[in-house]
Amino acid sequence: MKFQIELLPEAKTELFKIEKADRNKVIKDYKTIENYGSEFINIKALQDNLYEIKSDNVRSLFTYEKGQVIIIALVFIKKSQKTPKKYINQAIKRLNDYE
């Protein structure tokens, strides 16, 4: 299923702060989701209504919105095997503030 990708302003800033090679991988995954669907990308459920897109060593935390829209709340470089709770909490806060 195809989705429209929208980034919260903070997530957009985070995306453009990472190295260009990593940023290009993330943008490529976003375009794949928009053009072909989310089933072609590595997506993991973290908790209720919060998911992550795994783009090599970069993670994008997001939620699904009505109308086939994905809202990206947070983008970060993965440094540990498990997604740190601080990133999950930060993404949830941003999404709550967005609504």
Domains and CATH numbers, the chain: 4-98 (3.30.2310.20)
Neighbours of 72 (CB within 10 A): 24
Helices of type H across the chain = 9-17, 20-35, 85-98
**pLDDT on residue 81:** 83
3-state secondary structure of 45: strand
**pLDDT on residue 67:** 83
Q: Which residues, given as ranges, of the chain have pLDDT below 70?
A: none
**pLDDT on residue 60:** 97
**pLDDT on residue 99:** 72
For residues 31 and 57, is the Cβ–Cβ distance under 8 A? no
Cβ burial, residue 99 (10 Å; 0-12/13-18/19+): exposed
* The two three-digit tokens of residue 99, written as one number: 């609504």
**pLDDT on residue 70:** 96
Q: pTM to 2 decimals? A: 0.94
